[in-house]
Structure 1
């Protein structure tokens, strides 16, 4: 069974776990370094990125997650999770995990009271996909190998950089699981490729 971890320090954790399990995968709430063992993929949920960074440092999870990325494990960041993944954050000198080759701007869609929901057409995934934006960031710029998957009002809100998927919105706050299924497909492809390499040695 595909095993997907959800960073469980702060933010929309239960909603991600519910969606993962609804798709027949095993969900693991990641609170310690030991919880990272044996994961096929990792989701970094929405929340408050500065608070999440402090908790990553407190529980010594920053470097182990970076090490997991070095192994090729797929990772999906939503909202604050995208900020954690990004290699550059507008107005800040240093990133958090610094893994995904994008620059993001925090709170670019306004404050909590400016939250809204729209439907997006995402060619790689489908049409009429509900997207909930809450104090959402957006991707300002991308590296050469990053694929833009969706935009809203000329702002990049979903992108893929190899094993990394990042979005501005909260797919887990809707009943639509197509964005998560896209990530799980990435995870399954990685697992399949890894096993093939192991068997060929």
Structure 2
């Protein structure tokens, strides 16, 4: 399933791999870059509007969502990013990235901004403080299923969870047990994917490979220019 509309200006490139950016404001930027490269993308950092214009898809890493929204505004990236998402840019958000992509955020500051790319309600820091970080095995629809598949080890660090979703959102994973049993921790809506957890820290590249395939679905034969300064 893909979102309609243009994903931004592109020109032909001899490299058929999609160009996927990682928003390089906070979080595990290098880890996401490495995971994307292994998964078949050309991966670049994004800090400027021209760099955003060049990519076929974007990863928004973890970090602190209110700080991230402030930095996007200071760098004049917030409105360009919101516009590209509205036009169908494939995006993947992990942890704080999920919060940034949501339409409604609970337990956040009143001046925090979000990108309205997922029709979900997210509760910030829902699992508790940093010391309450944890790991669990998850079954993720479309990623860990199949005859040779296995659950994914998921790492949650001051993570959000999804309180509710609209009918347009596909729930991909829920916490299997414990006090948070049943809480939604992975979703997809069209070309936008989000997880509460951090797959970049485990060495399991299946979420990144799934997202790169999503980018290929949307971008088709058009690829990013690949000439931006990183």
Fold conserved between structures, TM > 0.5:
yes
Matches within 5 A, 1:109-148: 109-126=127-144, 127-148=150-171
Which stretches in structure 2 are left out of the alignment for 5+ residues?
1-16, 145-149, 176-180, 223-230
Which of residues 169, 172, 191 in structure 2 aligns to 1:163?
191
The answer to whether the 8 Å contact 1:87/1:95 transfers is no
Question: Does the Cα contact within 8 Å between 2:107 and 2:124 map onto a contact in 1?
Answer: no
The list of structure 1 runs, each at least 4 consecutive aligned residues, that deviate by more than 3 angstroms after superposition, is 91-95
Question: Counterparts of 1:42-191 in structure 2 under 5 Å?
Answer: 42-92=58-108, 95-126=113-144, 127-152=150-175, 153-191=181-219
Q: Is the 8 A contact 1:86 1:95 kept in 2?
A: no
Contact 2:40–2:209 (CA<8 Å) still a contact in 1?
no
Corresponding residue for 1:30?
46
1:18-62 Cα offsets, whole Å, 9 max, x none, are 101112311110111111122110010001111111100110111
Count of aligned pairs between the two proteins: 194
Structure 1 or 2: more strand by fraction? 1
- Determine the C-alpha separation between the residues in 2 that align with 1:69 and 1:81: 13
Question: Which TM-score applies when normalising by structure 2?
Answer: 0.81
1:198 matched residue in structure 2 = none
TM-score (norm. length: structure 1): 0.92
2:30 pairs with 1:7: no
- Structure 1: runs of 5+ lacking an equivalent: 196-201
Higher relative contact order (CA 8 A, sep 6+): 2
CA distance in 2, matches of 1:97, 1:88: 10
> What CA RMSD, in Å, does the superposition of the two structures yield over aligned residues?
1.4
1:73 is displaced (CA, Å) by 1.2
Cα offset, 1:4, TM superposition? 0.4
